[in-house]
């Protein structure tokens, strides 16, 4: 597992990516989130908006990065299976994701955005168990639209209403 000093270093690195490279930084963070990294892209999307980036562009770029990263994760999981997943996640967390997917299927995968189970673990589990790709992609798209929207849109409304 990653210690707190390393997590803080990663977070600072990602913030620097957003500050220096803007939308490209958000895309990179979105792309890596479903593969292996521990931070949700939404926190960096909010940072980008706070830095003056257009919220629609931020939402699109972060979402596209996350969807493309999810596709990569799916195929890595099919090819390398659990052995590679265990290099990124504890077996306990992975098994929680596996149990959740078996119990709830596609709807569970969509709902995962609102649970403590990390999204990236579920992407790996879907690939390892070879969920049909079209269903997986539909689940990724719907879950990203919901999660990013639920987190970003109220923030944007808050700025526009001068609440924040």
With cut-offs at 50, 70 and 90, classify the pLDDT of residue 160: low
DSSP at 89: S
Q: Output 123 or 38, whichever has higher pLDDT.
A: 123
Residues 76 and 35: beta-carbon distance below 8 Å: yes
CA 135, 137, 142, 144 torsion: positive or negative? Answer: positive
Collapsing DSSP to helix, strand or coil, 118 comes out as coil
Distance (Å, rounded) from C-alpha 18 to C-alpha 110? 27
Hey, what are 103's tokens? 């119990």
Q: Are 35 and 69 in contact (CB under 8 A)?
A: yes
pLDDT in the model for residue 159: 57
Q: Treating both helix axes as pointing N-terminal to C-terminal, what angle do 55-88 and 23-32 enclose, rounded to 10 degrees?
A: 30
Cα-based torsion angle of the residue sequence 40, 87, 81, 100 in order, rounded to the nearest 10 degrees: -50
Q: pTM of the full predicted structure?
A: 0.82
Portion of the chain with pLDDT greater than 90, in percent? 38
CA angle 13, 25, 5 (to 5 degrees): 15
Structure tokens that stand for 1 in this block: 């597992």
The Cα 110–Cα 20 span in angstroms is 32
Hey, what are 3's tokens? 């210690």
Q: How confident is the model at residue 125 (pLDDT cuts 50, 70, 90)?
A: confident
Q: How far is the C-alpha of 128 from the C-alpha of 12, rounded, in Å?
A: 32
- For 53, the 3-state DSSP assignment is coil
């Amino acid at each position: 597992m990653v210690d707190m000093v390393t997590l803080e270093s990663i977070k600072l690195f990602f913030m620097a990516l957003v500050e220096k490279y803007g939308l490209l930084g958000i895309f990179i963070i979105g792309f890596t989130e479903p593969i292996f990294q521990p931070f949700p892209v939404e926190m960096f999307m909010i940072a980008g908006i706070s830095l003056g980036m257009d919220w629609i562009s931020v939402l699109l770029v972060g979402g596209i990065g996350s969807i493309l990263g999810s596709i990569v994760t799916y195929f890595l999981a099919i090819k390398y299976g659990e052995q590679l997943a265990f290099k990124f996640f504890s077996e306990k967390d992975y098994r929680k994701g596996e149990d959740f997917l078996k119990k709830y299927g596609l709807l569970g995968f969509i709902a995962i955005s609102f649970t403590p189970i990390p999204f990236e673990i579920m992407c790996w589990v879907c690939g390892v168990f070879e969920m049909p790709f079209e269903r997986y992609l539909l689940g990724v798209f719907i879950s990203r639209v919901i999660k990013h929207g639920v987190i970003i849109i109220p923030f944007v409304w808050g700025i526009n209403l001068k609440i924040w």
